[in-house]
Amino acid sequence: MLAPLIAATLLAATPATPLDVVKGGYSDVQKAANAPGATVDQLASVVEKFVDFEELAKRALGKTWDTLTPAQRKDFAETMKGLLRASYAQKALGQANADVKYGKEAIKGDEATVNTTVTVKKDQVPVDYRLYKTAGKASTWRIYDVITDEVSLVETYAGQFRKLLADKGFDGLLSTLKNKRAQLEKNSQASANGAGSQAPATKQ
């Protein structure tokens, strides 16, 4: 009796691999997206469990992050988190019935990449996930970047940030992001209210 108990304990303690995180996250997203009355906000809460939006925002901002005060970092992180979770959730809701094939998992130190191919209707799109390992004893793998058809979300935002910082400075960048977040959340709410009796999974 003791041997099976020890084996079960060890199995339960085995940390999830990057591939496990991506597979589990996608499964949870599909369940949430296909649930009756699914909303962007509900889906965002599910996505947030495995996607680290704050880390994504920090990496996209690059060296500028180190120059910010604690208050500025908090404001920026919260603004980007709200913007990203709404944007990501909207896309996930639109791909509720997509088919995913999992490819290779590559781990190098505390960084990892998981390759997948997403099929929506007849279109096949390569989607790669970049993850990092959190610090501490209870370390886990978290997604911080999504590369769709060779276009990185972090690099896309980094390019936009550089331009806005050059034109408007940090305060101008933050103001622009807050306006985008407010508009996106307003659109998400309008979509949810207008869905009525239509199937939520068909809404983008």
Q: Round the average pLDDT of the chain to a whole number and report it.
A: 82
Report yes or no: 145 and 127 within 8 Å, Cβ to Cβ: no
Summarised one tens digit per residue, pLDDT across range 32-66 is 888 888 777 788 888 888 899 889 999 999 999 99
CA dist 46 and 101 (Å) reads 21
Counted residue by residue, the chain has a size of 204
Report yes or no: 83 and 180 within 8 Å, Cβ to Cβ: yes
Q: What is the pLDDT of residue 187?
A: 73
Q: How far is CA 178 from CA 79, 84, 86, 181, 185, in A?
A: 6, 11, 13, 5, 11
Torsion (CA) 200, 30, 39, 198 in degrees, nearest 10: 10
CA dist 147 and 166 (Å) reads 26
Q: How far is CA 64 from CA 21, 28, 70, in A?
A: 30, 34, 13
Q: Which CATH number fits domain 16-192: 3.40.50.2000, 3.10.450.710, 2.60.120.10, 3.20.20.70?
A: 3.10.450.710
Tell me the pLDDT band of 191, cut-offs 50, 70 and 90: low
5 pLDDT exceeds 50?
no
Q: What is the pLDDT of residue 15?
A: 64
Summarised one tens digit per residue, pLDDT across range 66-94 is 999 999 999 999 998 888 877 777 777 66
> Which whole number is the average pLDDT over 149-169?
94
Of 56-65, 119-128, 139-148, the one with minimum mean pLDDT is: 119-128
CB atoms within 10 A of CB 188: 20
Q: What is the pTM assigned to this prediction?
A: 0.79
CA dist 128 and 134 (Å) reads 19
Question: In this structure, what DSSP letter does residue 62 have?
Answer: T
Residue spans per domain, the chain: 16-192
Percent of the chain beyond pLDDT 90?
Answer: 47
Q: What is the pLDDT of residue 153?
A: 92
* Sequence-ordered alpha helix ranges (H) in 63-152: 64-67, 70-94
Ramachandran region, residue 152 (left: φ > 0; alpha: ψ -120 to 50; beta: rest): beta
